[in-house]
Amino acid sequence: MSQSRLEQLLGFLEEEPNEPFNIYAIALEYTKHKPLEALIYFEKLLQDHPGYVPTYYHAGKLYEELEEEAKAEAVYKRGVEVATAQNETLALRELQNAYQEFLDFKDM
């Protein structure tokens, strides 16, 4: 019997609890079926690993889905700042686009 992807990722996290990718991968896995559980992992990343740029896009989207507009906006803004500081041009463009779409939809 093979392990589920989530079980495998949780095992990786147990082995390396301070590795942001492990936390990120678990958060993404949970977004599929348990968004509130995903939120716990995204918030852990935002707090403990604020320089981990990929978090911001997905956390912002999840906050949007959960209709937490103020949190979504704050996460997108912070993500733009972090991506800019790290010169992560692709992530920056994705975050700027997501933030603009968020603003456009919010203003409707």
Segment 35-75, tens digit of pLDDT: 999 999 999 999 999 999 999 999 999 999 999 999 999 99
What is the model's pLDDT at position 1? Answer: 37
Our separate counts of H helices and E strands in the chain read 6, 0
Cα-only R_g, the chain: 14
pTM: 0.91
Query: Could you tell me the two tokens for 69?
Result: 């507009």
Q: What is the DSSP letter of 3?
A: P
Take residue 68 and report the two structure tokens written for it.
Answer: 């937490």
